[in-house]
Amino acid sequence: MIISENHFGKENCVAYCDVLIRRNYEVINADEHFYHFVEKLVGINFLDIVHQDNLKDFKMAFETLKPGENCRMLILLRNGIGEYYWTDMVIYNNGKILSGENVIEVRCYFLSAVESRYLMALDNVNKYRTILSTYRNYLFDYNSYTDMFTIYLYRGNQCNAPIKGTLEQFRERMLRILRSDSERKEFATFYNYLKNGSNMFSCMVYLPLDEHNDELYKFKVNGDSLFSINKTSVVAGYLETVDGCVSDVIPYYATSEAVDSATGLLNKRACMEYTKSVIASKDDKIHYMIMFDVDNFKSINDTYGHLFGDEVLSKIAGIINANLNGRGIAGRFGGDEFYIFTNNIKDEEDLRILLTTMRKELQYAFDSRIEDFGVTLSVGVSLFPKDGTDYEELFRKADKCLYLAKEKGRNRFIIYNESKHGSLENNSRHIHKILDLSDHSEYMSGVVSDIILELVSRGKDAIDDVANNILEQFEIDGLRIYNDNSELIYSCGEYKRMPDMTNILNDKAFLSRYNKNNSMSIGIVSSVEAWHKELYNELSDSNIMAFISAWFEFKYRRYYFFYDVFNHKSRWNDYDRNFVLIISKIIASVL
């Protein structure tokens, strides 16, 4: 059996097809795509092209489907030259009658072809975003299925949409703000072109360019209509300004001058103006302000040269654009300082996924090219409107969280939380207070109390949240937990590779290093080589530079905990070590 993955360049390859099938499985009608696929026009029994492993499931679904029902399944189908293709098949019993007989409708999406075409379309999207970023006129589109009307433009591969909503809502607004009967008549013409899905049209119309500002600008509209697979019309076109120059209409952040030449991202002024305009619009959405720096960027420049440093900055810009994917704007403030202001990140979980993905992609992008240290990011985040209702307040809090991320060991993100970080109004006073030893102890006592309460109330279900909190609060990059059979039962963190502890945990030379409290702290991993060569090799190969370890016994089982540091020296004090051991003991009790 040949299961094909290569679809392009083959004449009998399709992305989808529609088929009508009698109850005896005879194909009575199909579209051109299906006939190309099977390379036959008559005498087709659908069961003949279904793979034998899928026959039973297909027949059961086909024969038990009641009128008005549909079902979906993954099925292998054979083409005319004997190759099998995975399809996402939807079977409909819509009550269709042909020649007095009930027939079943089937639509098949060929997964490899859909994936390939999606990737090609994504490449085209990125290409056209770049092209559109050089275009000075506003663009518009209208989708008749969703009734969504949008006016937008691209700058630096990023979309700015000052007008977005249903066409009916926009029509009601226009009828309210248009000033004369002639203006209303012009708008009615434009509106009808959109609703009717008209082809190759042109007209004059007055339109606003802000959701919250009713100032009108005169445009010449040029548009056309296209149709999607499901016959939905999409009308698209561009707006040419008639009165005044384009720069009078387009805000600075949407001009070519707003783009940073080195990275293609927005510059600092553009980011500030865009953020302030969004805040002023009072759009009732949440927005994250994200500040981040490249860790050790000066050392990267000094060690590998400025050309390599420029490559790092360019790579970061590409990673940001690819992952942000139109859900906000991104900019470079200068040097190695970057900025994001989100529009469509709905909650903190999505934010954490975005930041983690960007950090991982950057780290792996240069992993094989930098030996001394990885390319990592320190990130600070604030949330509008929860953490502030103006640009300056949000920036101050995000910037201080960035500072705290660097102080806590770099390569991490810190999201502002009033209960954890307190007020940061008085510049850096609070940050330095946290870093003072006695005050640090008091602060961490509260953190540990919260963690313990979480473990006691939620038990084992809390371990993931607790582990991530430990990594964030204690300058730790990874956590490993083993049982007394040397089996890894839990891990958290971005390990280069996981150390093999099979022959180590029960070794006398290793166990002898635990103190009377069953703990050990290794500040420099190179010191391990003198007393345990195998452990040293495992830790070095895993890029672990320091660790705290402890073991505890509960219910006749022993658990070994390892808190690891990568790429930087440890900054633990006695308070931190004791707090970590207390938390470990509670975790062991709920495992």
Closest CA to 147 of 121, 118, 172, 184: 172
pLDDT value of residue 11: 42
Q: Is 385 exposed, middle or buried (0-12, 13-18, 19+ CB in 10 A)?
A: middle
So what's the pLDDT on residue 571? 63
The CA–CA distances, whole Å, from 438 to 434, 569, 574, 575 equal 9, 22, 11, 9
> What is the rounded CA–CA span in Å between residue 257 and residue 101?
66
Domains of the chain: 2-116 (3.30.450.20), 134-250 (3.30.450), 257-435 (3.30.70.270), 448-590 (3.30.450.40)
**DSSP-assigned states of every residue in 34-53:** HHHHHT-SSS-BGGGGB-HH
Contact 333, 268 (CB under 8 A): yes
Tell me the CA distances in angstroms from 530 to 410, 506, 509, 512, one per residue in order: 29, 18, 11, 14
Residue 444: per-residue pLDDT: 62
Beta bridge partners of 73: 89
Let me know the angle formed at the C-alpha of 39 by 33 and 45, rounded to the nearest 5 degrees: 90
Helix ranges (H only) for 223-305 are: 246-249, 268-281, 297-304
Closest CA to 272 of 211, 231, 219, 332: 332
Where does residue 555 rank: exposed (0-12), middle (13-18), buried (19+ CB within 10 A)?
exposed
Which residue has 């660790």 as its token pair? Answer: 547
pLDDT at 559: 92
pLDDT of residue 303: 82
Q: Using CA atoms, how far apart are residues 74 and 90, in angstroms rounded to an integer?
A: 9
pLDDT at residue 370, as a whole number:
66
What pLDDT was estimated at residue 7? 43
The pLDDT of residue 568: 66
For 107, 123, 227, 376, the CA distances from 8, given in Å and listed in that order, are: 21, 16, 23, 39
Cα dihedral 517, 477, 567, 395 sign:
negative
Neighbours of 267 (CB within 10 A): 21
Question: Is the distance from CB of 165 to CB of 149 less than 8 angstroms?
Answer: yes
Number of neighbouring beta carbons within 10 Å of residue 11: 6
Report pLDDT for 154.
78
**385 prior amide bond cis, ω within 30:** yes
Confidence (pTM) = 0.51
Question: Going residue by residue through the chain (591 aa), what tens digit of pLDDT does each one get?
Answer: 344 444 434 444 568 899 999 989 999 988 888 998 898 888 999 999 999 999 999 999 899 988 889 999 999 999 999 999 999 999 999 888 877 788 899 999 988 887 787 778 777 777 777 777 777 788 999 998 889 999 988 766 667 778 888 999 999 999 999 989 999 999 999 999 999 989 999 999 999 988 777 888 899 999 998 865 455 789 999 998 886 544 456 678 777 788 888 888 999 999 999 899 888 877 778 999 999 999 888 888 888 888 888 999 999 999 998 888 878 899 999 889 999 999 888 899 999 999 988 988 888 888 767 665 678 899 999 999 999 999 999 999 998 898 888 877 788 899 998 877 665 444 443 444 444 444 445 556 666 777 887 787 788 888 888 888 888 777 788 999 999 899 999 999 888 899 999 999 989 999 999 988 888 988 888 889 889 999 999 998 898 988 999 998 887 789 999 999 886 666 666 767 788 888 888 888 887
Average pLDDT, the chain: 84
pLDDT recorded at residue 283: 73
- pLDDT of the residue at 253: 79
Report how far residue 94's alpha carbon sits from residue 256's, in angstroms, rounded to the nearest whole number: 53
d(CA 334, CA 252): 18
Tell me the C-alpha distance between 389 and 276, whole Å. 10
- The encoded tokens of residue 58 equal 């297909």
Give the DSSP per-residue string, 467-490.
HHHHHHHTT--EEEEEETTS-EEE
Q: What CA–CA distance (Å, rounded) separates 571 from 562?
A: 16
pLDDT of residue 410: 81
Task: With beta carbons less than 8 A apart as the criterion, state whether 345 and 329 touch.
Answer: no
What is the edge-to-edge ordering of all strands in the sheet holding 233-241? 158-166, 148-155, 138-143, 233-241, 216-227, 201-208
The token duo for 327 is 């859900």
- Per-residue model confidence as pLDDT tens digits over 390-411: 999 999 999 889 888 887 778 8
> What's residue 371's pLDDT?
61
Q: Which two tokens stand for residue 259?
A: 């783009």
Token code pair at residue 155 = 């700058």
